[in-house]
Amino acid sequence: MLPNQKSEPRSLTARGAATRSRIVDAAADLIYAHGVDRTSLDDVMAASSVSKSQLYHYFADKDALVLEVIARQTERVFEAQTPHLEALDSLPALKLWRNAIVRLNKAAHGKGCPLGTLASELANGFEPARKCLADSFAMWRDRIEQGLTKMRERGELAASADPYELAVAVLSAIQGGLLLAKTTHSSRPLEIALDMAIDHVARHMTKA
Amino acid sequence: MLPNQKSEPRSLTARGAATRSRIVDAAADLIYAHGVDRTSLDDVMAASSVSKSQLYHYFADKDALVLEVIARQTERVFEAQTPHLEALDSLPALKLWRNAIVRLNKAAHGKGCPLGTLASELANGFEPARKCLADSFAMWRDRIEQGLTKMRERGELAASADPYELAVAVLSAIQGGLLLAKTTHSSRPLEIALDMAIDHVARHMTKA
DNA sequence: GCACGACTGGACTGTCAAGTCCAATCGATG
DNA sequence: CATCGATTGGACTTGACAGTCCAGTCGTGC
């Protein structure tokens, strides 16, 4: 059982890094639009103006590329929620965030959450991807949890409230709402789910 | 533009119906386990002990089979929630249902909701499937909504509460909770999401 | 018992996708 | 400017999969 790090050259020049990044971006877009299995490497080649050998120069195989795509989408999801995600420590902040998510979903024409669709497609059958996505969700939950913890420290949230559980509940609402929104071609389910989640947090607040 | 009902023979004998049903069952199982794109017709053939020509005798193409699988999974989901789904008209009934869902998820080794995974995979790019799944979700939501409506008629739920919106919120929580449960390999997110949803309903109840 | 249509078997085709290979360039460095 | 590894091009191999075709069997109504 040798370390078997067969892929990825030891060093990358600036040009190489740019090419590699271009590939990941194109793959992320295509996979978001069509799913992992309906995105061929030929599609990725065409979209990123790259040849087959380059793909296999930078990535051991399609699975390795998919793993990179997960990482890239995780970054994108976090960036898209900036700056809201950094300070979800008050009811007004949560509501602003809610509106931003709804806006984001509309801008994406209700295609759903990039991480959610990847998770649904890969969580069974490609264990490294599942782990990676579980980490992404954990980080996301953690951001929410941090804001709630701050609220509790300030006494805005009841001492009996569990920031971890509240954060999991909120994230569930987001994912479920996005899935229903995507399926029904309407953003209402997302709005309704988010409002429930915010109500749920509000319910654990001490009187104003 | 002729009606173009190219597929499906006019009549089915008992044996033919059985074969056809066997195919759909096998396809449903395989697709639930591996996803639509990772399930080949050869796999379905092997699992249902059927030859290629039989597949194409009963279904116009893979898409037609997938549509049937959606219908079958919809039936299964509803059956699995029987009898709870028929009378979600009290808080205790909702809690019993919650426990049943958690149990079901554990029994399925956290593979998630059959409808949810299909929706995530097919909602973009295969419009007939999306419509079909949207209908399934609407029926599901309607069952929940009916129970809540009954509660409101009885005066247990506040007149200001909207059974439709509450039902959508509950269904979102289920789907989101199942997705996180599947990704994290833990049923906790599902439990947390369901508890939030039930709390949310309880919050709209008139005092006991 | 025979005729006709439902039903079945399985070989065959065409396409497309993953992954391999080798030879050619580019560019920093001594 | 010579060298070496990073980088690139694209043809080629291999296998899988959707879908086609035709020939044969079964079973039910007449």
Q: Per CA to C1' distance, which residue is closest to C21? A: A53
Q: What is the pLDDT of residue B18?
A: 85
Token look-up 């809201």 returns: A84
Tokens of B31: 């697709």
For chain B, give every residue range classified as CATH 1.10.357.10. Answer: 69-203
Tokens of A23: 């590939």
Which of the residue ranges A135-149, A184-198, B9-23 would you say has the lowest mean pLDDT?
B9-23
**The amino acid at B71:** A
Which of the residue ranges A21-25, A47-51, A166-170, B13-17 would you say has the lowest mean pLDDT?
B13-17
What three-state secondary structure class fits B157?
strand
Residue B106: CB less than 7 A from any atom in strand C: no
Tokens of A40: 């061929």
Q: Which of A37, A119, A134 sits opposite B37 (nearest CB)?
A: A37
CA-based nearest residue to B145, from B157, B132, B133: B157
How many residues can be counted in chain B? 208
Q: How far is the CA of B156 from the C1' of D23 (A)?
A: 68
Tokens of A27: 């793959």
For chain A, give every residue range classified as CATH 1.10.357.10. Answer: 81-203
How far is the CA of B135 from the CAs of A176, A200, B84, B119, B174, in angstroms?
A: 16, 28, 20, 11, 17
Rounded to whole angstroms, the Cα distance separating B106 from B95 reads 17
Rg (CA), chain A: 19
Per-residue model confidence as pLDDT tens digits over B102-115: 999 999 999 999 99
**The amino acid at A153:** E
Pick the CATH number of B69-203 from 1.25.40.10, 1.20.1250.20, 1.10.357.10, 1.20.1440.130: 1.10.357.10
For chain A, give every residue range classified as CATH 1.10.10. Answer: 14-59
Q: Per CA to C1' distance, which residue is closest to C9? A: B51
Mean pLDDT of chain A: 93
State percent of chain A over pLDDT 90.
Answer: 90
End-to-end CA distance of chain B: 61
The class of domain A81-203 in CATH terms is mainly alpha
**Is B196–A193 a contact, with Cβ atoms under 8 angstroms apart?**
no
Averaged pLDDT for residues A59-83: 97
**Is A180–B203 a contact, with Cβ atoms under 8 angstroms apart?**
no
Contact of A115 with A121, CB cutoff 8 Å: no
CA-based nearest residue to A34, from B128, B125, B66, B37: B125
H-only helix segments in chain A: 14-34, 41-48, 52-58, 62-80, 91-107, 114-122, 127-153, 163-184, 188-203
Which nucleotide minimizes the distance between its C1' and the CA of A65? C18
Q: What is the pLDDT of residue A13?
A: 76
Question: In terms of CATH architecture, what is A14-59?
Answer: Orthogonal Bundle (1.10)
Q: What is the pLDDT tens value at each position of chain B, 208 positions in all? A: 223 333 444 567 777 688 899 999 999 999 999 999 999 999 999 999 999 999 999 999 999 999 999 999 999 999 999 999 999 999 999 999 999 999 999 999 999 999 999 999 999 999 999 999 999 999 999 999 999 999 999 999 999 999 999 999 999 999 999 999 999 999 999 999 999 999 999 999 997 6
Chain A environment of B190 (Cβ under 8 Å)? 172
Q: Which residues are registered as beta bridge partners of B205?
A: B157
Q: What is the pLDDT of residue B87?
A: 93
Rounded to whole angstroms, the Cα distance separating A176 from B158 reads 25
Q: What is the pLDDT of residue B15?
A: 77
Rounded to whole angstroms, the Cα distance separating A69 from A74 reads 8
The residues, ordered by sequence, that sit 6+ positions from A204 with a Cβ below 8 Å of its Cβ are: A157, A158, A160, A161, A166
Per-residue model confidence as pLDDT tens digits over A2-36: 233 334 445 677 776 889 999 999 999 999 999 99
Q: What is the pLDDT of residue B3?
A: 34
- Mutation target vs B (from A39, A120, A171, A178; most B CBs, 10 A cutoff): A120
Q: What is the pLDDT of residue B14?
A: 72
Q: Which residues are registered as beta bridge partners of A157?
A: A205
Rounded to whole angstroms, the Cα distance separating A14 from A20 reads 10
State percent of chain A over pLDDT 70.
Answer: 94
Q: How far is it between the farthest Cα atoms of chain B?
A: 63
Per-residue model confidence as pLDDT tens digits over B182-207: 999 999 999 999 999 999 999 999 97
Q: Which of B125, B171, B200 sits opposite A34 (nearest CB)?
A: B125
Higher pLDDT, A136 or B4: A136
Tokens of A194: 């988010």
